[in-house]
């Protein structure tokens, strides 16, 4: 019968595992990750042994094999995880070096080189998309017609507020 390995406190070491904290799963960055990026983060985390953070080795080809995807997708997934703050890139890999050299990664949920975990993904926010600006325009010249408003997309009409005023329309709030 094999003896259990004891840690520094004389207790049996727990089985190796990957932690997915509830607070991490509830953050905006996690919700914005693709399913494939989540799977890659789990695979990178699986290589963390408690002491190698910042030096976790994984190449694009290794990631492709682990995820059963083509070799082009992992590059995008690594970039997604770095952009959202789940991973930091350490040493960059090089395929042209004899024997190849895999990139090294740091997981931001774990301490690295004696420093606390940075958890950069907690500060990530989605970029605001460009929304068409609309002008509320009053048409007509009589007092009775002044209460009629229609939404006119600024880009669609190609006119500024000044153009609308010159054409006889009153911009909402400026009439």
What tens digit of pLDDT does each residue of 3-17 get?
667 766 677 767 788
22-123: CATH architecture? Orthogonal Bundle (1.10)
Query: What are the helix and strand counts (H, E) for the chain?
Result: 7, 6
End-to-end CA separation in angstroms for the chain: 90
137 touches 170 (CB < 8 A): yes
CA 169 from chain centre, in angstroms, equals: 44
- Give this prediction's pTM: 0.64
What tens digit of pLDDT does each residue of 91-135 get?
766 555 555 667 899 999 999 988 999 999 999 999 887 665 555
Domain boundaries, the chain: 22-123, 134-171
């Amino acid at each position: 019968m094999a003896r259990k390995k004891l840690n520094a406190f004389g207790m049996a070491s727990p089985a190796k595992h990957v932690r997915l904290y509830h607070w991490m799963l509830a953050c905006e960055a996690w919700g914005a990750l693709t399913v494939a990026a989540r799977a890659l983060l789990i695979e990178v985390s699986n290589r963390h042994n408690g002491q190698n953070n910042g030096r976790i080795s994984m190449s694009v080809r290794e990631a492709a094999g682990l995820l059963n995807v083509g070799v082009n997708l992992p590059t995008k997934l690594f970039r997604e995880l770095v952009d959202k703050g789940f991973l930091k890139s350490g040493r960059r890999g090089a395929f042209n070096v004899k024997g190849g050299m895999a990139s090294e990664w740091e997981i931001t949920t774990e301490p690295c080189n004696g420093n606390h975990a940075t958890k950069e993904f907690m500060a990530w926010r989605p970029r605001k998309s460009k929304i068409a600006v609309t002008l509320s325009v009053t048409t007509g010249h009589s007092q009775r017609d002044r209460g009629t408003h229609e939404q006119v997309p600024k880009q669609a009409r190609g006119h500024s507020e000044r153009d609308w005023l010159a054409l006889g329309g009153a911009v909402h709030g400026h009439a």
